[in-house]
Amino acid sequence: MDDPLRIIGDGVQSPGGDMGLRGNALVKLFSWLVLLRTFDERAVALQRQGRIGTYPTFWGEEATQAGPLLALRDEDWVFPSYRQNAIGLLRGLPASVPLAYRRGYGGSHGFWNPRRYRVAPMCVPIGTHLPHAVGLAWAAKLRGEDLCSLVWFGDGATSEGDFHEAMNFASVFAAPVIFFCVNNQWAISTPFSRQSGTATVAEKAAAYAMPALRVDGFDPLACWWATREAAERALAGGGPTLIEAVTYRLGPHATADDPTLYRDESEAARYRSLEPVGRMAAYLRRQELLSAELEEEIRAEARAVLDQAVADMESIPQPGAEIMFEHLYAAPPLNRR
Ligand SMILES: Cc1ncc(C[n+]2csc(CCOP(=O)(O)OP(=O)(O)O)c2C)c(N)n1
Ligand SMILES: [Mg+2]
């Protein structure tokens, strides 16, 4: 397997041109990275203060989320795992909604209408949303609708039957779906070497006669580029693609986890300088697209979004126990015979 594709190296674009993204689009990508980062940091702080429950942080994985989303069109569907818990923000979802979910609120406070944002409900059971993404893409193809779907999942999910079933079905029916594997090298305490017989995720695509791309998951441009390639192929009738974004889980699995119990944290420290927000900022500064003022403006805007979201979340009255039964029965249980 080749080394993962990297477009931004040490704040400099590698040879090969700009690959199609320039000017304002680059600044927009940076502002998305900052919004995700701001959400993630605020969520961790809120959890530590007891204001929300357990939270799966994605600090360092922002490139694997903002890059692919920018490569899609609004009509394309995305299927997040718990790790892409704030992805809806990039499609206009109020930040109070994913925060309220973490506070245990149901109904429209903690959930969104998937059709409105074309963002499927966040999936916590590992891998179960891969067949959903394939099904949606296949249905769109049968109906002659011009759209594709993208599903995010981790390295651990590749051990699930759902992954293999989804890959096979997508291949056989040439469904317009993008499998976006965020290989952060850990599934809670299980390292990738104990997860997979192959050295990479990308090479598994060969068993399904599917093209694969392997990119640096800390590089937002590489993640954007690979998704663009895959989406163009999918929309042209070329079927599915497997993308492996190679990264490293820089933080704990979630706020309830202590990685010092099972891994050498000096390894995480070695990857830390690759984190995408600083890397993208350095890249934009070199391109003279990001002044100190513009950067502060973007960061201040993200802080304001989160300030408002926290105020909104905390102004929602705490629901009662009856919320457990919402959407469970067509009629309240006591009225049933
Ligand atoms: C079907 C299923 N089995 C086990 C779990 C418990 N679990 C939660 S997260 C996780 C690790 C998943 O790792 P990976 O797919 O690499 O995603 P990451 O957490 O690294 O983003 C496991 C085993 C689960 N949520 N669902
Ligand atoms: Mg993982």
List pLDDT tens digits, range 194-214: 999 999 999 999 999 999 999
Residue 16: partners with Cβ closer than 8 Å, 6 or more residues away: 7
Tell me the residue type at 187: A
The DSSP secondary structure of 10-57, one letter per residue, reads: TTEEPSS--TT--THHHHHHHHHHHHHHHHHHHHHHHHHTTSS-----
What distance in angstroms lies between residue 129's CA and the mean position of ligand 2's atoms? 16
Tell me the residue type at 134: V
Which stretches of the chain drop beneath a pLDDT of 50? 15-16
Nearest to 319, CA basis, from 33, 109, 133: 109
Note the CATH number of domain 8-335: 3.40.50.970
Q: What is the pLDDT of residue 104?
A: 87
Residue 129: partners with Cβ closer than 8 Å, 6 or more residues away: 79, 80, 81, 120, 123, 151, 153
Using a 10 angstrom Cβ sphere, with 0-12 exposed, 13-18 middle and 19 or more buried, the burial of residue 277 is: buried
- Positions marked catalytic: 249, 253, 262
The DSSP secondary structure of 102-138, one letter per residue, reads: HTT--HHHH---HHHHTBPPPB-STTTHHHHHHHHHH
Q: What is the pLDDT of residue 10?
A: 61
Between the two ends of the chain, the Cα-to-Cα distance in Å is 62
Q: What is the pLDDT of residue 16?
A: 47
What distance in angstroms lies between residue 17's CA and the mean position of ligand 1's atoms? 37
Residue 263: partners with Cβ closer than 8 Å, 6 or more residues away: 186, 189, 191
User: In ligand 1, which atom is closest to the CA atom of 81?
Assistant: 21
Domain positions in the chain are 8-335
Stated length of the chain: 337
Give the CA distances from residue 54 to residues 38, 49, 69, 275, in Å, rounded to whole numbers and listed in that order.
17, 11, 26, 23
Q: What is the pLDDT of residue 11?
A: 55
Residue for token digits 């697209």?
289
CB atoms within 10 A of CB 101: 21
The DSSP secondary structure of 228-281, one letter per residue, reads: HHHHHHHHTT---EEEEEE----S-SSTT--GGGTS-HHHHHHHGGG-HHHHHH
Two structure tokens written together for 127: 């891998």
Give the CA distances from residue 143 to residues 149, 151, 185, 239, 258, in Å, rounded to whole numbers and listed in that order.
14, 20, 38, 15, 47
Taking the C-alpha atoms of residue 250 and residue 260, their distance in angstroms, rounded to an integer, is 12
Total-model pTM: 0.95
User: In ligand 1, which atom is closest to the CA atom of 249?
Assistant: 20
- 198-213 b/e (C-beta count within 10 Å ≥ 16 → b): eebbbebbeebebbbb
Smallest CA separation from ligand 1 atom 20, residue: 187
What distance in angstroms lies between residue 161's CA and the mean position of ligand 1's atoms? 13
Spatial contact of 128 and 162, defined as CB atoms under 8 Å apart: yes
Name every protein residue with a CB atom under 6 angstroms from any ligand 1 atom.
83, 124-126, 154-157, 184, 186-188, 249, 253
